[in-house]
Amino acid sequence: MSDSKPHSAVHAENYVADGSNGTKDKKKGGIISKIRRRLTVQGDSENIDGAAQPPVGLQRPVKEPETTEDHYLHLRCAVTEYSGVSKKGHAPYNPRKKNQDALIMADDPATNTLILCVLDGHGEHGDGVSAQFRDQLAMEMMSHPSWGTDIKRAAADAIAKVEHQVIRNFRIDTEFSGTTLSMAIIRGNKLIGVNIGDSRVLLGQEEDGKLVAEEFTHDHKPDSPGEQERIIAAGGRVFAVEYDDGIDGPPRVWLGHMDVPGLAMSRSLGDAVAHTAGVISDPEFTEKELDPSSDRVIVVATDGLWEFVDNDETIELLFPTPGPAEAVDCLVKEANARWMQEEQVIDDTTIIVAHLFDYKASEE
């Protein structure tokens, strides 16, 4: 099966971010023409990207609280303090948008282990998928018989178990919905990265009095070496949508015979249709022994941050901040501002920052 774009490629107005199908709405055209570049392109439902059908008689949108957690604990592992926030985005075409992101910050004193995880849901039921992982994953990992001796096995088995439970949950339709997962597991001085999709774990290291970025997990993009080959071998296709103005969106995964689902990642949890085209849910692991003399900061974030703020900029922005809470606030504000400037829309943004070995920013 060829991986090139077919001659009759579907244009943006057929699969735009708000789920409309057919001719483009001229009233929304100016906004959608930019929004559609980066947000989900999946299925044909009007509930795409976290929209919800309002109950009968309900006139006012229900405001969702921002999820914020700060921890200043003296932990037994390399992390000495950490903070995280999950902030709902903004879509002018969808006033009832839900926050489809979620975060996990769980401490296991019995094994001197800290779990820091972000989830980025997408599709109509993406919030349900990410929420079930948020509510169940840490406990499944910690109760696994191999948790004390084999972190990677425990994490992989727990992820697979929760995904199976999500798929079996009749309240959550995973045909065109799913979530990414990026996780940093710190046990003692050992760091293990777990990644499925395009959220990311970043490590900040000190060199000559400055922090520099090390990408600790690597995004699973459809056109990445190995990922694209697997998708093509499974009968799927990889190409970016061609827009009328000539600007392409990100490479996406499509079925061999239909221009769906348009998933912009090569690994995800859920997404039943995309999985028939070579998308997988296998986690990729990275690991290292943290060095007290140089390793200073861990950042775990969804692509609400990474879409417009790269690794080096992230470290530069958090370098002057006194603590994790201030770093998270700084990064969220910068990411939101860039989304509005570039797309007139803001993606859900979830960020966790952890300081290592009692690190404090310089007061110079």
In single-letter form, the type of residue at position 302 comes to T
Mean pLDDT of 237-250: 82
> What local confidence, expressed as pLDDT, does residue 363 receive?
52
CA distances 280 to 31, 53, 62, 76, 227, Å, are 33, 30, 35, 35, 9
Query: Does the structure show a pLDDT above 80 at 46?
Result: no
Regarding pTM above 0.85, the answer is no
| Contact (Cβ atoms closer than 8 angstroms) between residue 178 and residue 121 | yes
Query: Does the structure show a pLDDT above 70 at 32?
Result: no
Structural domain spans, the chain: 1-364
Measure the N-to-C terminal CA separation of the chain; round to a whole number of Å: 58
DSSP of 189-247, one letter per residue?
Answer: TEEEEEEESS-EEEEEEEETTEEEEEE-S----TTSTTHHHHHHHTT-EEEPPPPTTS-
Query: Does the structure show a pLDDT above 90 at 63?
Result: no
Least confident of 32-41, 186-195, 216-225, 264-273: 32-41
Residue at token pair 């993406």: 126
Mean pLDDT of 182-206: 97
Q: Which two tokens stand for residue 65?
A: 């609280």
How do beta strands 261-263 and 113-122 pair? Answer: unpaired
Enter the CATH code of domain 1-364. 3.60.40.10
> What local confidence, expressed as pLDDT, does residue 13 receive?
26
Tens digit of pLDDT for each residue in 293-350?
A: 999 999 999 999 999 999 999 999 999 999 999 999 999 999 999 999 998 999 999 9
d(CA 169, CA 203): 36
> What local confidence, expressed as pLDDT, does residue 33 receive?
41
Average model confidence (pLDDT) across the chain: 84
